[in-house]
């Protein structure tokens, strides 16, 4: 990826988002366009305005937050894989984060809605909770759960990328999941056991010598200046730079002023750059945009501009196996890219070669 011979930099993007879904339960709501057996099901709009969602943005979280199986299987079909355009970024697929996660590392997930795999088989459990997986790109699960290996096998058979997270797994359990086909780590360092020199846990996958030949483990980093200390960013980047994928962990309140907001059935509080479960100090996502994460990541690690941009474009495309059309500016790839100034602020956004947003003169001041 090279900059054009002008003062702006150009970076490839995916012009799509892997929309994150926190799977817990569905409350009643009065603002939803979808109805489920008399219950209004809240579904946050998929696409941010173009100026907030440059092509490489991972997008806001959709929170699927009660009869869980019926609720999720009702909501998920409403979010389709689709191309982007003037209306907004396209959608590569859904990232389902839960409910097969550890109660000990649940984060903002309501514990009463978490699930384990039953004796009836992981495939049946997955279908029972999620329904179809046609529009699903990534599923996060905790590899220490009994039956998780079968779940990884089934998800990979269906072409779904498996990510490890919200977990208390040790390194051997994480390595076993990778042998079964897991290839991603959900927001490294967050909602997992901390690094320990005798058992580094999931974090140890970054330098594990048990990764099958020809395979690579990618890992997400929330580079918002809150979720991950700059020193931790540097450690991860220097240990395994080729696998680093920048993620925002942004919730629906991104772009809104401080105050109390709703995330599914939970109230959250925006306090400056932080988002907390209301009344607690538990982080509940972020309000960072991807361009802000790129800038912070570059500043914290001292990496090159190219490395920072590839972490937000090429690496996620490699993770999903779509580099023939996304994540590069190679001949034949989709012409999805943003123009950045020297400070890596977004100047313009292009999707499929069409300019869909440009910063106005007032915004440049």
Instruction: Specify the long-range contacts of residues 293-296, CB closer than 8 Å, at least 24 apart.
Output: 293/222, 293/223, 293/224, 293/246, 293/247, 293/248, 294/223, 294/246, 294/344, 295/343, 295/344, 295/345, 296/223, 296/224, 296/225
| Nearest-angstrom CA–CA distance, 48 and 31 | 18
| Residue given tokens 């020193």 in the structure block | 231
Distance CA 91, CA 46 (A): 8
Q: List the helix and strand counts (H, then E) for the chain.
A: 9, 17
SS3 for 127?
Answer: helix
Q: Count the alpha carbons within 13 Å of 328 in the hemisphere toward its beta carbon.
A: 10
Token pair 């509940």 in the structure block, residue = 284
Which is catalytic among the residues 170, 176, 249, 336? 249
Task: Look up 249 and say whether it is catalytic.
Answer: yes
In sequence order, what DSSP letters do the residues of 193-253 get, joined into one string?
A: PPP-SS--GGGGGGG-S-SPTT---EEEEE-SSSSS-HHHHHHHHHH-GGGEEEE--B-TT
Angle at 251 between CA 246 and CA 256, to 5 degrees: 115
Question: Which of 127, 179, 176, 187 has the alpha carbon at shortest distance from 155?
Answer: 127
CA distance 208 to 106: 25
Tell me the two tokens of residue 16.
């799509």
Number of neighbouring beta carbons within 10 Å of residue 32 = 18
Residues 143 and 149: their CA atoms lie apart, in Å, by: 7
Which residues are part of the catalytic machinery?
Answer: 249
């Amino acid at each position: 990826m090279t900059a054009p011979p002008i003062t702006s930099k150009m970076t490839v993007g995916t012009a799509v988002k892997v929309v994150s879904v926190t799977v817990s339960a569905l409350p009643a709501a009065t603002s939803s366009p979808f109805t489920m057996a008399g219950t209004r099901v809240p579904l946050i709009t998929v696409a941010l305005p173009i100026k907030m969602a440059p092509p490489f943005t991972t997008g806001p979280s959709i929170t699927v937050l009660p009869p869980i199986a019926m609720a999720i299987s009702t909501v998920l079909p409403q979010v389709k894989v689709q191309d982007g355009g003037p209306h907004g970024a396209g959608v590569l697929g859904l990232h389902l984060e839960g409910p097969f996660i550890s109660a000990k590392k649940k984060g903002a997930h309501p514990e009463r809605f978490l699930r384990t795999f039953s004796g009836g088989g992981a495939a049946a459990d997955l279908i029972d909770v999620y329904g179809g997986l046609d529009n699903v790109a990534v599923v996060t699960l905790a590899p220490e759960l009994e039956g998780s290996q079968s779940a990884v096998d089934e998800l990979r058979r269906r072409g779904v990328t498996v990510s490890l997270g919200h977990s208390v797994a040790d390194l051997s359990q994480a390595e076993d999941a990778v042998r079964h086909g897991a290839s991603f780590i959900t927001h490294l360092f967050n909602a997992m056991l901390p690094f320990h020199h005798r058992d580094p846990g999931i974090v140890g996958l970054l330098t594990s010598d048990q990764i099958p030949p020809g395979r690579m483990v990618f890992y997400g980093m929330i580079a918002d200046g809150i979720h991950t200390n700059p020193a931790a960013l540097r450690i991860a980047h220097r240990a395994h730079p080729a696998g680093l994928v920048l993620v925002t962990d942004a919730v629906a309140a991104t772009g809104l002023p401080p105050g109390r907001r709703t995330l599914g059935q939970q109230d959250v509080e925006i306090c400056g750059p932080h988002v907390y479960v209301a009344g607690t100090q538990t982080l509940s996502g972020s309000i960072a945009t991807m361009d802000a994460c790129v800038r912070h990541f570059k500043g914290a690690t001292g990496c090159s501009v190219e490395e920072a941009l590839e972490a937000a474009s090429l690496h996620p495309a490699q993770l999903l196996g779509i580099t023939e059309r996304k994540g590069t500016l190679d001949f034949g790839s989709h012409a999805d890219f943003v123009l950045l100034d020297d400070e890596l602020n977004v100047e313009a956004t292009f999707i499929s070669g069409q300019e869909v947003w440009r910063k106005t003169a007032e915004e440049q001041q």
